[in-house]
Structure 1
Amino acid sequence: MSTTEEIRRQNFERFERNKNDFKQRMKDGSEKNPCYEEGQLTLRCLHNTKDKSECEEYGKNVRMCRYFWRTVMKDRKRKGIMPVLPAVDDREKVMEEYKHLLENS
């Protein structure tokens, strides 16, 4: 195999890996959206029922989740903590740190 063909093959493999990684990140939206699971539950409820009022609790949960994380991000930005939206692995610890926001809602 010539060097040019080998380079093309390596580039193609790298492209495929990046494409698959991107697809996986898009599937798991929780990386950029901490309320992804709550939103999915709401959508599933709306899809499975004809009476939308049955899904009000799910919607309320999403709104509370968004409020919580928006407040956390504002506070972290004000304190100079980067990134303002913590990584998925760190969110449990951050939730524990900011749980007083949940108790006051």
Structure 2
Amino acid sequence: MKNKDAEKNNPCLKEQELSYKCFNDNNFDKEACQFEIQNYNTCKSFWHSVKAYRRKKGIHPNLPPIEERESIKREFLPEYFH
């Protein structure tokens, strides 16, 4: 099982691990891992936007708890990609 503290503080832990795995599997070839890199960067950007929104609105904590993240994704993803 993943370290819950790491997951709590990093909503992109899965994407990060997938990019690391790709690097390891492909001798650290960035070209071979473009999808994983982009996915990780998109994830980081998305959660940064969510944190900024919550901070602006005075919602604490700025990074939603793990159990709220799926509903946050459903709420914010459609707007994020428009």
Short-chain TM bin: 0.7 to 0.9
Residue matched to 1:48: 25
Q: Which runs of 5+ in 1 are unaligned?
A: 1-23
Aligned length: 78
Deviation, structure 1 residue 52: 2.9
TM-score (norm 2): 0.87
Question: Gapped runs of 5+ residues in structure 2?
Answer: none
2:45 aligned partner, one-letter code? Y
Greater radius of gyration (CA) = 1
Higher relative contact order (CA 8 A, sep 6+): 2
Q: Which of 52, 74, 82 in structure 1 is aligned with 2:60?
A: 82
Give the CA RMSD over aligned residues: 1.3
| TM-aligned CA deviation for residue 30 of structure 1 | 1.3
Answering whether residue 25 of structure 2 is matched by residue 62 of structure 1, we say no
Percent identity over the alignment is 31
- Alpha-carbon distance between aligned partners in 2 of 1:79 and 1:25, rounded to the nearest angstrom: 27
The one-character-per-residue Cα deviations of 1:66-100 (angstroms, maximum 9, x if unpaired) are 11000000000100111110000100011111111
- What is the TM-score normalised by the length of structure 1? 0.69
| Distance of 1:95 and 1:52 partners within structure 2 | 28
